[in-house]
Structure 1
Amino acid sequence: MSSSIVKLGAQRIALGIMLLLAVSVLIFAGTQILPGDVAQAILGQSATPESLANLREQLGLNEPAYVRYFRWLGDVLTGDLGTSMTSGQEISGAIKGRLWNTLFLAFWAAVVAVPLAIILGVIAVRYRNGWVDKLISGLALASTSFPEFFIGYVLVYFFAVKWQIFPGISTVFDGMPFLERMQAIALPVTALTLVVLAHMMRMTRAAILNVMQSAYVETAELKGLSAFAVIRKHAFPNSIAPIINVAMLNLAYLIVG
């Protein structure tokens, strides 16, 4: 089972990389189709022909489109994202300063959301159509009905303003103690968890229920296995593929969202 999960995860990662590559090609082709001159847009209408020619030469706009694309792709793969036209700073440096905090926040949100979603999904299947299932599904539907910013406002109001348990502004810095860092990201992690938890729990429940209709599950039930044993040994392992897909989509959302 573990090898199949690793293989499935590797396949999904490879598919994601191919999808990103295809999207980059489409976006680059779209920018080439759009009318206008990049050098003219940067320098303005009062630019001289010499300055326009120099800027086009500097930006490589005189080269064929495919050459510029593969040069850009090579630079991206080596970590060179270019220079910002507005600030003049290296884009990779600006991203690098914030990337660790983003990954730290996404990691802890995933650590909380993914296991909790699977557990709630299994419990909902075990007590399907009962009050426990209806309660979990109702809370999940309610949480997905509210936008993320509203959930954030509610958390800040109660936990930061009214009760003053956590800070209202999540400021982290290098050298910050681990416990203080965890306290600072408590509210953002909670908000992100509530955002992805409901969707993943519902997909987990649906995937397991779909497998529960199989003949081998009915055979396991006829053998006298308990409901949790049937889910743990038969239904859940065979429904792991769509659950992994949803988990990876949610992880990508936590990172880029």
Structure 2
Amino acid sequence: MSPAYVLKRILLIGYTLLVVSLIVFAITQVLPADAAVMMLGENATPDALAALRAKMGLNDPIWMQYLHWLSGVLRGDLGVSMRTGQPVAPAMLEALGRSLLLALFSITLMLAVAIPLGIVAAVRRGRAADLGVGFLSYVGVSLPEFVTATLIVLVLAEWLQWLPATGYVPLTEDPLRGLKHLVLPVLTVSLILIAHVSRMVRSELVDVLHSDYIRAARLKGLSKRQVLFKHALRNALLPTITIVALDVGYLLGGVIVVEEIFALPGIGRQLIVAIQARDLPSIQAGALIMATTYAIANFLADIAYAWLDRRIQYD
């Protein structure tokens, strides 16, 4: 991977985030909320509201407000929350860390289970193992998140009482209790991801095993294990990397239901609270942080492509 390509991708990420910032800022401007009223309350006097609007630059043209906000973002200042009166950046980044922790554990568990299941289903195509993996995958895809989460809570928390049903404990305070609180949300998200990825691995591996270069490898006398793991699996995993990169975006913004059920204070839940409270700086910061994380995840996926398949060269 050439330095020119890396620089080009970084510039493209910057351009993408600039467009996202424009869209996010434009959307928050049309929300039915007055920042001055949100901060001072509905009983504030007109003079106090006018003074705060002048201080915050709310009377300036929209383009000037955007440039002022963008300059703050570039300095790392994402504004002050209208709901709490505290800086937005530390709260959102802390919530992002919790969501990334959930994503890391969920993706790790998903890869550890989905890839072997996909391999077994592909190697034993049409047999009982393949049919069993396919059935479980369809069930996992068809069940909504809240149904999967509810079933897991009923079985592991209510009936067996092995794990706490809700709550969050930072791993830095108590690693054992923190891990116990993460098990149920991780299982919920992982089951959903496993259903998607195992089918993807199975489908791609079946196609690769019937390709010409795999037949040539077999004719050379290579063992089944060498053909499968050294040649077929590396190429079959390329589309899986795309799915994993897309799942990062899903895990950051699409597991709000899971975070709500298990009372996990991640960035998705923080964003919902901000929308309900019309907290414009928090909405802007949350959306921009999620877009940045998603863009970086896709960039890392491209790097993983080149690592798995040496034929892929980025110039």
**Band of TM-score, shorter chain:** 0.7 to 0.9
Q: What are the residue-to-residue correspondences of 1:14-53 with 2, within 5 Å?
A: 18-31=15-28, 34=30, 38=34, 42=38, 48=46, 53=50
- Alpha-carbon distance in structure 2 between the residues aligned to 1:147 and 1:10: 41
53, 57, 60: which is aligned to 2:54?
A: 57
- Alpha-carbon distance in structure 2 between the residues aligned to 1:196 and 1:17: 29
Q: What are the residue-to-residue correspondences of 1:1-257 with 2, within 5 Å?
A: 18-31=15-28, 34=30, 38=34, 42=38, 48=46, 53-173=50-170, 175-256=172-253, 257=255
Per-residue CA deviation, residues 91-140 of structure 1 (Å, 9 max, x unaligned), is: 22333443433332222112211232222222222112222111112101
Count of residue pairs the alignment pairs up:
250
- Alpha-carbon distance in structure 2 between the residues aligned to 1:239 and 1:74: 44
Q: Which of 1 and 2 has higher RCO (CA within 8 Å, sep 6+)?
A: 2
- Alpha-carbon distance in structure 2 between the residues aligned to 1:129 and 1:135: 10
- Alpha-carbon distance in structure 2 between the residues aligned to 1:88 and 1:232: 55
Report if aligned partners of 1:39, 1:55 keep a CA contact under 8 Å in 2: no
Report if aligned partners of 1:114, 1:247 keep a CA contact under 8 Å in 2: no
- Alpha-carbon distance in structure 1 between the residues aligned to 2:252 and 2:31: 33
After superposition, the CA RMSD in angstroms is 3.4
State the shift of 1:37 in Å.
Answer: 8.2
State the shift of 1:246 in Å.
Answer: 0.9
CA change 1:157–1:16 in 2 (3 A) is farther
Unmatched tracts of structure 1, length 5 or more: none
Unmatched tracts of structure 2, length 5 or more: 256-315
CA change 1:83–1:45 in 2 (3 A) is same
- Alpha-carbon distance in structure 2 between the residues aligned to 1:16 and 1:200: 26
Per-residue CA deviation, residues 133-189 of structure 1 (Å, 9 max, x unaligned), is: 111121011011111111111111111111111111233046433222212211111
